[in-house]
Amino acid sequence: MEEIGHGLWRAFQLIFSLDPQVWAILLLSLQVSGTALVIAALLGVPFGSWLALTRFRGRRPVVALVYTGMGLPPVVVGLIVYLALSRSGPLGGLGWLFTPAAMVIAQVVIALPIIAGFTMAAVMGVNPNLKQQVTSLGATPWQATLAILQEARLGVIVAIIAGFGGIISEVGAVMMVGGNIEGSTRVLTTAIVLETSKGAFATAVALGIILLTITFLVNVALLRLQGRAFER
């Protein structure tokens, strides 16, 4: 309890003293996870909708692959991205290993199947007759898909929240591909691991409190958006 209390006090000190190192870590965390979430949502929502609305040969293996990806261990993702971005890997020429770009890629790989899977489930829960109704009224396939997504909007928001939760607290993959380099690729989760290994528990608790606060505020914002969607 003493460490937690000290951590709370230390967190307030770090935040309100405008500690440049802490703010740099915080801003990089938001930049990496925010960018990854936007990319994963832009890819995952359409892909999940397509899987829910389209019947094609080999669909079951694709769905099974998405479900497998939803539970994919982050360290495995980190290993795959590391190998892909290494000098001998197919993307080694980009020179992205141990940069924020590599961390974004790893988090996109983690969040994408989560968002796609939950979106697929949400769209499949919509009344199947809706597509026929809007099509009979002259809607194009694209307009029909948008109408279905409108009905499934609550589930889509939940999918995005789940995707965010899967990456904001992730440490294994980002540490493997980012390297936890001070001033370059150090984010809140990797900084907590570092401070804990050094025995600086108060600072680690403080960073943890900051991470929990950021996560809480983002989820509150998304839930408020969900509430507004529910009121429509």
pLDDT at 52: 86
What is the per-residue pLDDT across 62-114, written as a single tens digit (0 to 9) for each?
Answer: 999 999 998 888 899 999 999 999 988 899 888 899 999 999 999 999 999 99
What is the Rg, in whole angstroms, of the alpha carbon atoms belonging to the chain? 20
- Of the chain, the percentage scoring pLDDT greater than 90 comes to 33
What are the angstrom distances between the C-alpha of 94 and each of 9, 73, 86, 98, 145? 43, 25, 9, 11, 36
Which structure tokens are listed for 126? 């919509």
For position 213, which CATH number holds? Answer: 1.10.3720.10
- Rounded mean pLDDT of the chain? 84
What is the per-residue pLDDT across 177-232, written as a single tens digit (0 to 9) for each?
Answer: 998 888 888 999 999 898 888 877 777 888 888 888 888 887 787 777 666 555 55
Domain count, the chain: 1
Contacts of 39 (CB under 8 A, 6+ apart): 104, 108
What is the per-residue pLDDT across 102-142, written as a single tens digit (0 to 9) for each?
Answer: 999 999 999 999 999 999 998 888 777 776 676 666 666 67
pLDDT at 105: 95
Q: Domain range holding 154?
A: 2-231
pTM score of the predicted model: 0.86
